[in-house]
Amino acid sequence: MTGNRVRVLSDHLSPSSSSPMASSEKDAALAAVPSDGPTIFDKIIKKEIPATVVYEDDKALAFRDINPQASTHILIIPKVKDGLTGLSKAEERHVEILGYLLYVAKLVAKQEGLDDGFRTVINDGPNGCQSVYHLHIHLLGGRQMNWPPG
């Protein structure tokens, strides 16, 4: 099982993945084990893994998704996880950082020229297609979004 989980997550994180996106996202989410342990995002924050950073300050980091679902697809993460592995784990102490991350999404959207609109998404848990258990906001733009989303 562990080998399969690693393969699925590796396929999910590899920009040259040959599997269909919808399937690999779902597979990665189903294979991910909810945990408060270190994630790939922690390695990106520590600069151990390269990322195309578009915004950084002392509280948040924003970088381009390696498997974009729109011409602009950026992930916005808190630099300190503090137990915030997903939105369903949020507590009152997280109110400030949650609001701040949305504000950063607005700043990055403006910086990226998404004047005609954009979408923010937070996946939560296996059914929400969450594959990395470090809360993150997807900022998508540059194309017409559809409704319902999926």
73 annotated active-site:
no
Helix or strand or coil: residue 61?
strand
* Beta-carbon-side half-sphere exposure of residue 56 (alpha carbons within 13 Å): 12
Which of 12, 134, 136, 138 is flagged as catalytic?
Answer: 136
CA dist., res. 111 & res. 27, Å (int)? 33
Rounded CA-CA distance 102/6 in Å is 31
Contacts of 31 (CB under 8 A, 6+ apart): 4, 5, 8, 9, 131
* Side chain identity at residue 132, one-letter code: V
Q: Active-site residue numbers?
A: 136
